[in-house]
Structure 1
């Protein structure tokens, strides 16, 4: 079980490894007794505090890739339905908007 207070400030990534942002608020559905939405501060990957990045600044360059959650634009707030959450731990993993292609045999 995860406490709601533990979700605040968690970094969110897609299951494909794309950085989405950081949890800013949690919207509850009181009638259903569950989390319905995560309000996420949309951040570009280079704005995220990495820690070791300061040490390796001259040898590593972070280049943002095309994002499947939202087009690159000014930072704002995203609404992510909680149904998209796949895993919660030190980070939050969500499924992407674009479904994975299914291999047919």
Structure 2
């Protein structure tokens, strides 16, 4: 009896192809949705920042490339102190709204 207890037990997969296909497609779509939502929310560490393209009163613009997708973008860096000092927060919000819809 001691010999039987020490032998490994091998589990056999069940052949329910409809259930496996459904679970597989659900997991793939869940991963795809996660990747889409993740790619829409970028942080500064997601980019390799390149040379400056321009500088203005409220910030600077740099060329940048996303590390994962290798997409080239213009990255605008705004100076919070200047925005507050000149009370132009409403203009910044409007610019964000306009550029958000440019995709």
Q: TM-score, normalised by structure 2?
A: 0.26
Q: Kindly name which structure, 1 or 2, has the bigger radius of gyration based on alpha carbons.
A: 2
Q: Which has the higher helix share?
A: 2
User: Higher strand share goes to which structure?
Assistant: 1
Task: Normalising by structure 1, report the TM-score.
Answer: 0.26
